Structure 1
Amino acid sequence: MPETTTTARGASLTAAELAALRKHVVHTADGRLAKTSVAKPRTVADFATTAADVRRMIEVDLAAFIDQQTKKTPPGETPAPVPVFIWAHGGLTDKDAGLLTAQRQTGWWKKNGVYPIHLVWESGFKTTLEDVVRGKAGKRGFTDLTDLAVEAAARVLGGRKFWDDMKLDSAGACLPSVGGGDPGGAFVLAGALREFMAANPGAIELHIGGHSAGSIYHSHFVPRLFEGDDRVDSVKTVTFLAPAVRIDTFEATLLPLAEAGKIESLSIFTMDENHEKRDNTAGIYRKSLLYLVSRAFEAEKDAEILGVEEHLRGSGRTMAYLGDRSERLVLGPVTRGPRSSTQATSHGDFDNDEQTMMSLARRVVGVPDSNEADHVAVFPARAREVGEFVPAPRPEPTGARGAASRKLALCIGIDAYPRDPLSGCVADAESWAKALGDAGFQVESIHNGDATRDAILRAMLDKVSSARDGDVVAIQFAGHGTFVPDLDGDETDEFGPKDEALCPVDFRDGQLIVDDDLGAIWDAIPEGVAVTLFFDSCHSGSVNREITPTEFVSRKIPAGATPRMTVLDAGEEAAFREERAASPDDPFRTAAWKRVVEVETDRAAAPPTPRADGREVLISACQPDQVALETNGHGVFTTAALGVLAKTPKLTNAAFVAAVFDVLDDTYEQRPMLSAAGDLGARGLLSSVHEAFATAAPDSVESNGHRAPADVRTAAIVAILRATADLLEAGGD
């Protein structure tokens, strides 16, 4: 009985099958080839590819296949070039599934006279996506969350880092030697192909294919074929299925080659907008993976992705090329002849769909676009079984209007920082919890060691996403604030301005909460939900702090007061970078990351700006150029704010901040700040959006000086007049 190894999908590969795949698979991990390999791997884990294996594949195995095909040429005819098809799978395909796909498709390609080479590259993204999207954010899981909430969780709980890591791996696979180390695996393959084609002109022609993130891989690989003195003249076809590559990367790498005719035919198969938005990801997200990539995993939200039809419509240069010939862009599901048909209705379907793969094969072997019968072997049924069944998600929750509104609160206080202890934050959280509880709020509290980054973000997201139309949510935080490097710039060695961050208890391990995290969660606030934030820390909501670390260290703090602010050292900033972005931890990966960012020409490089259209109201303890303080066992802001709340609960948001401003002791150079979009400043403090309380207000309200601005004063007067009117009406009953 032959030895077998069972893949994660339950299928088995025998030792003989694994050995046969060594002729057709280039396997890399972190972009690199293995140092050693075995000729007869017994398990998937044993399967590896070395640089010598790659050269053998081209010089021996491919050459032998060409000889076999040449013998089929009728006497007197010149042998046609043998198509070599180089396939890169998507980011959700692990090593097991990549090898299984290769095993089930290799024979089919060879029946059609094509020599297939499968690039199997390990990515942890599939596991990460499942962890992030399948119920590991919030108490309730994800089955009843909105898509906005799923996007928020995916962004703040690790999805972006792993997507960046995946891009780094694909770029690294295509790098030359760095610092005397080994080159990337795909770079070795490109060199071997160039050498073979130079030594055997006319023997082969190159065809490229990739699904999803495979398009990112090929955006780095294909240009390597056109380098050096032995550069190839052309690549016959490049065909992408539901490509996840950014449009700016595509336009920087592959489109110029297509426009110049170096890529003779470049085409895309993807779903139309309607089907893209009816797809689901992991049975949870109610759109295709490409939307999740665009909205959650890229550096900037709503990054333009090549496989998204609505993004293509706005891409002038790319669309000019694709629209020039009808077969360059196939929007499915559609039946449009033998070379341009697809019935894929989900992102993961394309490389398992018979019509898609048959169209791809006909393009590779050169079958004309006609209704005449051809001899292309039918895509095998077993190859269609590699995909996994994904159940449809529940309908988007709506939160019916008319249901009794609820008041939900989250109170967070951290004193027990290992190196930066405070003494009034837990007391603040407890005081806020009592005040909010007395006002009818259901309060959840997180204190000290329980207040990790992960726990805080999950609780915030859970509180926001569980709210429904008419609910009121209050989130309070008392603890340290700090500065962090801006990681969204386009430089790999300069991390831009310092952004604001909240400090969870584990912040010195790189676990900080930045405005991008908070903004993603506030974006998930359901319509009709009022959210008010009380931050008693050095976090003003203005995105960038106007006080530098040096200024903070030299600032004089009043006697008896402690600042709720701290500064990271160089090692801690490095830990933050490693936790929050792809970590270039050696020269090879640093070079790979530089290449990734270099071709993302639209990557968010401008400094972030305050949110102008949010649904949240943020009341901060201090201005951007000030420091939040605590004294006598409480935060200076909290003491003043709770005093105002107890005496005058019926104020607008703006009037509340003005009142707190007035009662703060002038001993402390600290003044509260209100950040509120539109007319939110004139809404009643901690009131439902449906309560008729507010008056007209400016486009936005933000106090930013050392005295109450005129609009805040006006709002306070209006609130007093309204309160007086309420008393008169009550007295007349």
Structure 2
Amino acid sequence: MPDTTATARGATLSAAQLTALRKHVVHTEDGRLATAASARPRTVDDFKTTADDVKRMVDVDLAAFVDQLAKKTPAGEAPPPVPVFIWAHGGLTDKAAGLQTAERQVGWWKKNGVYPIHLVWESGFKTTLEDVVRGKAGKRGFTDLTDLAVEAAARLLGGRKFWDDMKVDSAGACLPSIDGGTAGGAYVLAAALREYMAANAGAIELHIAGHSAGSIYHSHFVPRLFEGDDKVDSVKSVTFLAPAVRVDTFEATLLPLAETGKIENLSIFTMNENQEKRDNTAGVYRKSLLYLVSRSFEAEKDAEILGLEEHLRRSGRTMAYLGDVSERLVLGPVARGRRSSTQATSHGDFDNDEETMMSLARRVVGVPDSGEADHVAVFPSRARDVSEFTPAPRPEPTGARGAAPRKLALCIGIDAYPKDPLSGCVADAEAWAEALGGAGFTVESIHNADATRDAILRAMLDKVSSARDGDIVAIQFSGHGTFVPDLDGDETDAFGPKDEALCPVDFRDGQLIVDDDLGAIWDAIPEGVSVTLFFDSCHSGSVNREITPAEFETRKIPAGATPRMTVLDADEEAAFRQERAASPTDAFRTAAWKRVVDVETDRAAVPRVQRADGREVLISACQPDQVALETNGHGVFTSAALRVFAQTPTLSNSEFVRTVIDILDDTYEQRPLLSAAGDLNARGLLSSVRDGLPAAASATIETNGHRAPAEMRTAAIVAILRATADLLEAGGD
């Protein structure tokens, strides 16, 4: 049932209030303006903004406000420019809350002689984040997990997609009409302001501000003011509160404008590093939301975020502009005069903190830090309109150091693919389950229709994150593998922009598991936990090239054998892109996505380094340029691996792989691959980290049954760096 009023924490907006807000709110959905709107909206759903509304807002409503103030100017004096304040809210603010915030602030700004314009943009991110960090994200919930597990869950179970959606929406709001569709709301606003300022020189000055993800929005909006023959001479100020924009995006879009004086004053209010790490998101994640953005929602883990002090200080160029003690950088909580004070102690506090908003207002209206009387009206602060969440108790993890190690296993097998079924994967999973059960493991199995992307990722994360010091975890997968377009820009090898992927049963609907997804799970492995992965599929082992169906003819595939490999068609690739917020079927969103990626210049600029503390061992069915096969009702790798496991279960990881290779010999053009960091290759197969290394530990990872020469070791290292488990990404806490 649709909303009948705008509500936020019990407050409501009447139809009269909604109508009045049409003079001050530009509302967009997916970045676009509406094609029609009611002049007298009665509900939240009714409230829409058209291009004509935006032009009227500037040419009529703003112009009338300017004329009204001009009449108060003493005779013989030129009226000063009227400040126009343009606000973009953060990603945790929905439409109703955005309208409520506008209603509360519009009157305050106007009392201070400022004309406010609020950019209200749709976002489902708040609901998604609640689902991720609360019990809906996993069968056990996440209140008893580490921050690493919360980061993995947030990345995999919806948070990453919605963050990308938000960035696309903000960039789309700043695009012109494409293919005859409606233009972005901020694009139309920028054009209207440029035209008005060109026709009314000196009548207004522009002040831009945004909280959290609002900084992303403005990174695309502000440059639009400097385009065209009627471009503005300057923007008086840009102020960000706890900005969630990437540093590289900021340095590509706004910093050059500030360095050249086109933005006369650019400043940031945010928390100091200690306070960011004392913050709490939803009572579950024990840091500020900006750390979750950096580690979970951006394309690469630990992306540099403008609102995090430790990231700011690594950016020489940005810090050279901001400085440590100037008004340009305010690290709170701090009381530093009338223009640079904030008492915000949580990420969500800034846009409701009286000290922060009063400092912002004094900058906009030009009140100095000391001296003349402070004539700014008091900010109407109150309980937050948008609660970030009610903190929930966080129980201590089950288990304790020193307890007897547990053995936990997950076995996954998929034969029932709709278009290209297999015949030995469920049998593989059942055989592994029997073997591991006989070795003392508690086994969970997922087969066929139950093996969806969501179910697989939840089960993997559950196994990994619930383990404790000394536990042994085994995860087995048998099914198809494939390649998907690399949408992050992080796969830069010579074979082209592709990500390796495992195929859940619903993969043709875009529900694939890419190597980066798995890397997020392995990063959540607790200290002291041993994890071994047995993946029997094509592209399961550090694959760095695509094998097309035509190439099968050149492979040594015995009669009766079936490759565990599939290729996505155009529609299936489109479905994958859609699931990852990069739809190729919508020209507007495609253009917005390109704009986002173009200014994220550090996505693939720094090569990722293999984690020295990687805790997972990946034993894959084949080498990067080979095909995993099944025959006689089982995977070729699984049959050999289980034979070795039954006869000599005490081998080291490297000895196990060499023995499997010896069994396969030359019958199949398939050589298993071991990917492991540090001394894990020499550790006992499925052993606890409490167990010592074998006396004669080998220092070399061998993948083909022979001592590898230097060039082969180099190739193996390159392969490891591309492992499905994504050993490259730095560990978390």
TM-score normalized by the length of structure 1: 0.92
Tell me what 2:162 maps to: 162
Q: CA deviation at 1:73?
A: 2.3
Partner of residue 721, structure 1: none
For 1:516, what is the secondary structure of its paired residue?
helix
Give, in whole Å, the separation in 1 of the partners of 2:550 and 2:218.
45
SS at match of 2:145: coil
* Structure 2 counterpart SS, 1:535: strand
Task: For 2:527 and 2:89, locate their aligned partners in 1 and report how far apart those are by CA, in whole Å.
Answer: 39
Cα 1:262–1:607 change in 2 (3 A) is closer
Distance 1:79 1:504, change over 3 A: same
Given that 1:465 and 1:524 are in contact with CA atoms closer than 8 Å, whether structure 2 keeps it comes out as yes
**Cα distance between partner residues in 2 of 1:480 and 1:4:** 49
| Cα distance, 1:695–1:598 mapped onto 2, change above 3 Å | farther
Residues 541 and 610 of structure 1 are in contact (CA less than 8 Å); yes or no, is this contact kept in structure 2? no
User: Is the aligned partner of 1:358 residue 2:358?
Assistant: yes
- Displacement of 1:154 in angstroms is 1.5
Aligned match of 1:109: 109
What amino acid does structure 1 have at the position aligned with 2:504? Answer: P
Where 1:475 maps in the other structure, the secondary structure is strand
CA distance in 1, matches of 2:495, 2:336: 49
Distance 1:10 1:698 in 2: 66
Amino acid at match of 1:429: A
Q: Distance in 2 between matches of 1:709 and 1:203?
A: 75
- Map 1:659-698 to 2 at 5 A: 659-664=659-664, 666-695=666-695
Structure 1 residues 489, 425: closer, same or farther in 2, change over 3 A? same
Contact 1:543 1:609 in 2 (8 A): no
* 447-456 vs 624-633, greater mean Cα deviation: 624-633
Aligned residue number for residue 718 of structure 1: none
Q: Cα gap change, 1:214/1:97 in structure 2, threshold over 3 Å: closer, same or farther?
A: same
2:400 aligns with 400
**Correspondence for 1:703:** 702
Q: Contact 1:270–1:330 (CA<8 Å) still a contact in 2?
A: yes
Residue 64 of structure 2: SS of its match in structure 1?
A: helix
8 Å contact kept, 1:485–1:496: no
SS class of match (1:326): coil
Tell me which moved more, 382-391 or 639-648: 382-391
What CA RMSD, in Å, does the superposition of the two structures yield over aligned residues?
2.4
Q: In 2 relative to 1, CA 523–28 (structure 1 residues): closer, same or farther, beyond 3 Å?
A: same
Gaps of 5+ in 1: 713-733
Distance 1:215 1:194 in 2: 21
2:331 corresponds to 1:331: yes
Once residues 96 and 165 of structure 1 are traced to their aligned partners in structure 2, the CA distance between those partners, rounded to angstroms, is: 19
- Indicate if the aligned counterparts of 2:657 and 2:703 stay in contact, CA closer than 8 A: no
- Report the counterpart of residue 653 of structure 2 in structure 1: 653
Which residue does 1:730 correspond to in 2?
A: none
- Distance in 1 (CA, whole Å) between partners of 2:583 and 2:495 is 13
- Where does residue 229 of structure 1 map in the other structure? 229
Q: What is the rounded CA distance, in whole Å, between the counterparts of 1:694 and 1:90 in structure 2?
A: 54
- Give the C-alpha shift of residue 173 in structure 1: 0.8
Whether the aligned pair in 2 keeps the contact of 1:489 and 1:496 (CA below 8 Å) is no
CA distance in 2, matches of 1:100, 1:256: 34
Q: CA deviation at 1:332?
A: 0.6
- What do the CA deviations read for 1:392-418 (whole angstroms, capped 9, x no partner)? 662774953212211100011111111
With over 3 angstroms needed to count, the CA separation of the structure-2 counterparts of 1:4 and 1:666, relative to structure 1, is: closer
TM-aligned CA distance change 1:546 to 1:19, over 3 Å: closer
Larger mean CA deviation between 7-16 and 253-262 belongs to 7-16
Separation in 2 of the partners of 1:616 and 1:522? 7
Q: 1:528 — aligned with what? A: 528
Q: Is the CA contact (8 Å cut-off) linking 2:541 and 2:621 kept in structure 1?
A: no
Q: Distance in 1 between matches of 2:85 and 2:59?
A: 16
Q: Note the alpha carbon deviations across 1:131-156, whole angstroms, 9 max, x for none.
A: 22222333211111111111111212
Aligned to 1:307: 307
Query: Does the 8 Å CA contact 1:682/1:695 hold for their aligned counterparts?
Result: no
Provide the rounded CA distance (Å) in 2 between the counterparts of 1:372 and 1:513: 62
Match of 2:172 in 1: 172
3-state DSSP of counterpart to 1:7? strand
- Please tell me the residue identity of whatever aligns with 2:5: T
Match of 2:729 in 1: none
Deviation at 1:380, TM superposition (A): 0.8
1:202 corresponds to 2:198: no
| Rounded Cα–Cα distance in structure 1 between residues aligned with 2:140 and 2:217 | 36
Counterpart of 1:177, as a letter, is S
Per-residue CA deviation, residues 47-84 of structure 1 (Å, 9 max, x unaligned), is 01111111111111111211222232233332211111
* Alpha-carbon shift at residue 381 of structure 1 (Å): 3.3
Within 1, Cα distance between the matches of 2:390 and 2:698? 48
Distance (Å, rounded) in 1 between the aligned partners of 2:538 and 2:612: 21
Which whole-Å CA distance do the structure 2 matches of 1:325 and 1:170 have between them?
31
Q: Give the drift of 1:258.
A: 0.6
Separation in structure 2 between the aligned mates of residue 490 and residue 408 of structure 1, nearest angstrom: 32
Structure 1 SS opposite 2:236: strand
The CA deviation at 1:681 is 0.7
- What is the CA–CA distance in structure 2 between the aligned matches of 1:188 and 1:26, rounded to whole Å? 10
Query: How far does the alpha carbon of each residue in 1:437-473 deviate from its partner, in whole angstroms, 9 at most, with x for none?
Result: 1111111000111011110010000000000111000
| Structure-2 change in CA distance of 1:513 and 1:69 (3 Å) | same
- Cα deviation, residue 284, structure 1: 1.9
Q: After alignment, is 57-66 or 237-246 more displaced?
A: 57-66
Distance 1:526 1:491 in 2: 27
Between 1:102-111 and 1:570-579, the stretch displaced more is 570-579
Q: Does 1:87 align with 2:83?
A: no
Q: Distance in 2 between matches of 1:667 and 1:390?
A: 61
Distance apart, 1:367 and its partner CA? 0.5
Match of 1:288 in 2: 288
Question: 1:4-43 CA distances to partner (integer Å, 9 max, x unpaired)?
Answer: 7152533210001001100100001111111111111000
1:574 aligns to 2:574 (yes or no): yes
Q: How many Å separate the matches in 1 of 2:540 and 2:606?
A: 20
In structure 2, the partner of 1:619 is 619
Amino acid at match of 1:424: G
Using the TM superposition, give the Cα deviation of residue 648 of structure 1 relative to its aligned residue in structure 2, in angstroms: 1.2
**Cα distance, 1:552 vs structure 2:** 3.0
The yes-or-no answer on 1:317 pairing with 2:321 is no
Residues 608 and 648 (structure 1), Cα distance of their counterparts in 2 relative to 1, 3 Å cut: same
TM score, norm. by length of structure 2: 0.92
Report the residue type matching 2:702 in the other structure. S
Cα deviation for residue 612 of structure 1 reads 5.8
Q: Which residue identity is paired with 1:690?
A: R
Query: Alpha-carbon deviation of 1:556?
Result: 4.7
Q: Is the 8 A contact 1:479 1:503 kept in 2?
A: yes
**Higher mean displacement: 658-667 or 540-549:** 540-549
Shift of residue 96, structure 1, vs aligned partner: 0.5
Contact 1:515 1:543 in 2 (8 A): no
Distance 1:710 1:698, change over 3 A: farther
Question: What is the SS of the residue equivalent to 1:528?
Answer: coil
Distance across 1 between alignment mates of 2:384 and 2:687: 55
Q: Which amino acid aligns with 1:289?
A: L
Give the stretch that moved more between structures: 11-20 or 171-180. 171-180
Equivalent residue runs for 1:714-733 within 5 Å: none
Deviation, structure 1 residue 185: 0.9
Single out whichever of 400-409 and 131-140 deviates more from structure 2.
Answer: 131-140
Q: Is the 8 A contact 2:270 2:308 kept in 1?
A: yes
What amino acid is the match of 1:110?
K
Aligned length: 708
**Which amino acid in the other structure matches residue 446 of structure 1?**
I
Q: How has the CA–CA distance of structure 1 residues 88 and 17 changed in structure 2, closer, same or farther, with 3 Å as cutoff?
A: same
The unaligned stretches of length 5 or more in structure 2 are: 713-733
Displacement of 1:317 = 0.5
Partners in 2 of 1:552 and 1:256 — Cα distance? 52
Describe the superposition over 1:272-301 as per-residue Cα deviations: whole angstroms up to 9, x where unpaired: 111111112222211111111111111111
- Match of 1:484, SS state, is strand
Q: Structure 2: which amino acid aligns with 1:515? A: D
Partner amino acid, structure 1, of 2:364: V
1:468 aligns with 2:465: no
The offset of 1:565, in angstroms, is: 1.5
Secondary structure at the counterpart of residue 12 of structure 1: strand
Is contact 1:282–1:390 with CA below 8 Å preserved after alignment?
yes
Q: Identify the residue that residue 726 of structure 1 maps to in structure 2.
A: none
Residues 388, 72 of structure 1: CA spacing in aligned structure 2 closer, same or farther, 3 A cutoff? farther
Does the 8 Å contact 2:582/2:589 carry over to 1? Answer: no
Equivalent position amino acid for 2:454 in 1: D
Once the two structures are TM-superposed, the CA of residue 371 in structure 1 deviates from its matched residue by 6.1
Mean Cα displacement is larger for which, 265-274 or 173-182?
A: 173-182
Deviation at 1:485, TM superposition (A): 2.0
Distance 2:578 2:551 in 1: 26
